[in-house]
Structure 1
Amino acid sequence: MGDRFADRNVIKRLLEESRTWAFVGLADNPTRTVYDQARLLQGRGKRIVPVHPSAETVLGERGYATLAEVPGPVDVVGVYRRSEFAGEVVDEAIAAGAKAVWLPLDVVDEAAAQRALDAGLDVVMDRCPGVEWALRR
């Protein structure tokens, strides 16, 4: 995979210019990595949208059971599911009209990432938004 899905310019643009991040897998559980990442980005001015089958409110934001239910545009879909489920989420992000998908550390699905690229989305894979936020220049 190398750095094919870790373009520094794409990472910087997504972190600096995006407004709305839908976090698939985000529930009201502060012990999960997705909760930490959503809180971090929310603290830096991003609107976060929890997407989880339970559709619960998280960090003060209304949750939705699926990406298709999220109203309004989504800039970035954070795919906080295991790799074997990532492709389905990426396909939902494409169908929902998202502008980008971000697969965090250890979530890798190269075929899904290529589908997203082919559909015109930006893709970041196997990178942590929090770490990248600290590294951006």
Structure 2
Amino acid sequence: MSAVLDKIDHDHYDDDYIRGILRQVNVIAMVGASANWNRPSYFAMKYLQQKGYRVIPVNPKEAGNEILGEKAYASLSEIPVKIDMVDCFRASDAIPPIADEAIRIGAKVLWMQLGVRHDEAAKKAEAAGLKVVMNRCPKIEFGRLSREIGWMGVNTRVINSRKQNRI
């Protein structure tokens, strides 16, 4: 493992690390995406789409159906386009095979949602060249880093003339 990878503290991410990931990513595969409008994955998918990301749902129960205008797939390897980031809405014990598949398809980032952490899968993904984020939500991080939401998770109601773009 390189010295750069050894410096990643998976308990406290530097804002530049998160910002860099969110800037480099265009296509996100969301493993565990739900068609149910009141599930966290649905909110996150819709938000990220509104911010300009293409989010492709991965859910075997929904394979072939559409979620928020995107065809759902049963696995990462079935997706016919290049995936930049794999966003995991699955339990921690389900992460190792997802990480293996993310490596196989050539993803750049493995992102585990709030409450999801698997250190061994993270080490394996990093050794394969992927950036890894654990126990964070890209929706929340995007909102926080773009100043769209404050630390308390509420809209700051700040009005400015800056052109809104991706962070």
* 1:82-116 Cα deviation digits (max 9, x unpaired): 01101111111111111111101100101001111
One-letter code aligned to 2:37? P
Counterpart amino acid of 2:39?
R
Structure 1 runs (4+) deviating above 4 angstroms are none
Find the aligned partners of 1:43 and 1:136 in 2 and give their Cα distance.
Answer: 16
Residue of structure 2 aligned with 1:123, choices 104, 117, 132: 132
| SS, match of residue 23 in structure 1 | strand
Q: Determine if contact 1:49/1:63 at 8 Å carries over to the other structure.
A: yes
CA RMSD, 1 decimal:
1.3
Letter in 2 for 1:32: R
The CA deviation string for residues 41-75 of structure 1, in whole angstroms up to 9 with x for no partner, is 00000001010102121000011110000112101
Q: Tell me what 1:109 maps to.
A: 118
> 2:70 is aligned with what amino acid?
E
Alignment of 1:1-137 (within 5 A): 4-5=9-10, 6-54=13-61, 55=63, 56-136=65-145
| TM-score in terms of structure 2 length | 0.76
- SS where residue 98 of structure 2 aligns? helix
Q: Distance in 2 between matches of 1:68 and 1:8?
A: 31
Counting aligned pairs with the same residue, the percent is: 39
Take 2:103 and 2:45, find their aligned partners in 1: how far apart are those partners? Answer: 21
CA contact (8 A) 1:83 1:109 kept: yes
Q: Tell me the residue number matched to 2:149.
A: none
SS in 1 for 2:90: coil
Q: Give the Cα separation in 2 of the matches to 1:39 and 1:70.
A: 19
Secondary structure at the aligned position of 1:65 is classed as coil
Report the number of matched residues: 135
Amino acid at match of 1:112: A
TM-score (ref. length: structure 1): 0.92
Shift of 1:15: 1.5
CA distance in 1 between counterparts of 2:143 and 2:80 reads: 30
Where do 5+ consecutive residues of structure 2 fail to align?
1-7, 147-167
Q: Which whole-Å CA distance do the structure 2 matches of 1:4 and 1:104 have between them?
A: 16
Structure label with greater radius of gyration = 2
